[in-house]
Structure 1
Amino acid sequence: MGPALAAAVLAALGYAAGSILQAVGVRGGSGAAALTRSPLYLTGLGCDGLAWLLSLVALRRLPTFAVQSLLAGSLALTVLLARAFLGSRLRPRDTAAVLGLVAALAVVGGAGTEQPSPTVGPGGQVALCVAAGLALVAVLGLRRSGSAAFAGLAGLGYSVAALGARAVTLPDAWSQAWRVGLEPVAWAVVVAGVAGTLGYAAALEKGPVGPATALLWSVEVVVPAVAGFWLLGDVVRPGWWVPTVAALLVVVGCSVVLAGSPALPEEA
């Protein structure tokens, strides 16, 4: 397993562990003030942050469709961890979805060979910046929209953030790291990430976690895959196109099933 693939797998595990820790932390407190004093809840947030950083590492060397699909696998890990540590019920369809997701991710992992981050032209950079800005404006402006609309916007925001993280130009030396702040695409990543976070929070506020999470991950798998091929020139291993497309569809389907699982914590 290469370092980029290992980072993506660890990111999925980090997101799953963060969900479980936050769920346990919520059980022991009442109100937002109590959560800020809960070691488990704060550790869960830290796991989410570390997972996000690991996903950025993976995106530098792996195509977007591979990383986003592997991150969607965090749903399977969350369901299994919830069964083990929270005693949550696991339906037969959840077991089948976990097995299907693991098989599909094995195909995606095999199809997404390590490749250098792309060089995106001015047009692509403008497109990413505009998309990030529109996502944030939409999330802030559509106050009366339902949970599905916000979940879809959250998925779009996170998708743009993933695409931008792969496209941003990084300096060769750490001493030049400050130059990242001059990159428009780097700011697009931040803006899109904020849009995704606010959108998902609004989706959970307005509706149940299952449908919102299912729509979020469906968008996060499909949109970066299509845009990665078209905008970033992501490459699939020769002869793997049909298995890859089929595997991506399985990832989406299994994610929808697992998002409705009673084993999924409300904070996931």
Structure 2
Amino acid sequence: MTILALLFAVAAMVGNTVAALWEAKGSRLARYGRAVWLQPWFLAGLFADIVAWVFTVVALRFLPVFAVQAILAGAIAFTTLADNGWSVWNLVRRERIGVVAVLAGLVLVAGSAAPERPAELPAVATPILLVSFVLILAAAPFVWRAGRPMLLAFLAGLGFGGVALAVRAIQPGPLGWTSVGDLLRDPLVYAVVVMGVLGVLAFAAALRDGAVGTATAVLSVTEVVVPGLVGLFLLGDRIRSGWEPAAVLGLALALAGVVMLTRSDPDTEKAARVH
């Protein structure tokens, strides 16, 4: 089942990559015709996002949060390759190193994830998660008012990370849901929706006012590290015995690669400021 869960996580990563490419194409076409919401490519990208999210939920059912989130972050490497004709020789040196680092890191992270999951959550897990989500939502207006792109990207990372944690926490089900009605009585279900909306809005605001590369790097690092640590310390996620160094190295490589791939080119930044 672990192999199958890894395949679902990889499929979700591929889905996110396809979604990003299709949505970008739809957004570009919107400049010359219909609104972006009416562009077939953009709508296809949204559908790919939904499919990828379903795959993510399945993966979180069997794999630790840190493993799933790290694998999803690999979409940046595949998007970079796709944008350059799937040829590493079309990449600059920094991008090549970034792609290799991400892929090597993901292999280590995937191998270090323990398939076991707790039979049930600690009694304090759901209350702690819900209180944390409320505090994040309470801080959101102040972050918005500050208008700093990096803070907004960090907030978006907390939002998307919160979605992963809520999904993971729902699965063992301290409420023991056996029907849709039981599921809808679980407050974590609504946390998934609210935190997801927060993530989307905050990241959109970060992209509007800041550099895409910087915002994406902050988002990616936040949504891997923060929920990954919470999963390990609160939700009973586990690393294979003896694989702790590999997990740490894998996360470090993957995150370093993400930062390299999303780092803005200094000349581009300078030109943007001039204009």
Identify whether the pair has TM-score above 0.5, normalized to the shorter chain.
Answer: yes
Q: What is the aligned partner in structure 1 of residue 163 from structure 2? A: 161
Whole-Å separation in 1 of the counterparts to 2:193 and 2:164 = 10
Say whether the 8 Å CA contact 1:66–1:112 is kept in structure 2. yes
Say whether the 8 Å CA contact 1:148–1:203 is kept in structure 2. yes
1:96-142 per-position Cα deviation (integer Å, ceiling 9, x unaligned): 11111111111111111323365223421111112222223333443
Say whether the 8 Å CA contact 2:108–2:249 is kept in structure 1. no
Whole-Å separation in 2 of the counterparts to 1:58 and 1:117 = 15
Q: What is the aligned partner in structure 2 of residue 54 from structure 1? A: 55
Task: After the TM superposition, list the runs of 4 or more consecutive aligned residues in structure 1 that deviate by more than 3 angstroms.
Answer: 169-173
Q: Which moved more, 1:226-235 or 1:162-171?
A: 162-171
State percent identity of aligned pairs.
36
Matches within 5 A, 1:115-134: 115-116=116-117, 119-134=120-135
Q: What is the aligned partner in structure 2 of residue 22 from structure 1? A: 23
Pair 1:3 & 2:8 matched: no
Say whether the 8 Å CA contact 1:128–1:188 is kept in structure 2. no
Change (3 A) 1:212 1:123: same
Pair 1:211 & 2:214 matched: yes
Whole-Å separation in 2 of the counterparts to 1:89 and 1:106 = 24
Instruction: Report the AA paired with residue 19 of structure 1.
Output: A
Matches within 5 A, 1:135-214: 135-145=136-146, 146-169=148-171, 176-214=179-217
1:25-52 per-position Cα deviation (integer Å, ceiling 9, x unaligned): 1221228952122111111111112111
Whole-Å separation in 2 of the counterparts to 1:47 and 1:117 = 31
Report deviation, 1:186: 1.8
TM-score by length of 1: 0.89
Say whether the 8 Å CA contact 2:5–2:63 is kept in structure 1. yes
Residue 219 of structure 1: SS of its match in structure 2? helix
CA-based RMSD of the aligned residues comes to 2.2
| Structure with bigger gyration radius | 2
Report deviation, 1:148: 0.5
Change (3 A) 1:29 1:172: same
Residue 116 of structure 1: SS of its match in structure 2? coil
Whole-Å separation in 2 of the counterparts to 1:261 and 1:95 = 15
Change (3 A) 1:27 1:151: same
Instruction: Report the AA paired with residue 91 of structure 1.
Output: V
Change (3 A) 1:117 1:70: farther
Aligned length: 259
TM-score by length of 2: 0.87
Please, which runs of 5 or more residues in structure 1 have no aligned partner?
263-268
Instruction: Report the AA paired with residue 142 of structure 1.
Output: V
Instruction: Report the AA paired with residue 190 of structure 1.
Output: V
Report deviation, 1:211: 0.3
1:189-228 per-position Cα deviation (integer Å, ceiling 9, x unaligned): 2221121111111111111111000000101111122111
Q: What is the aligned partner in structure 2 of residue 225 from structure 1? A: 228
Whole-Å separation in 2 of the counterparts to 1:257 and 1:32 = 35
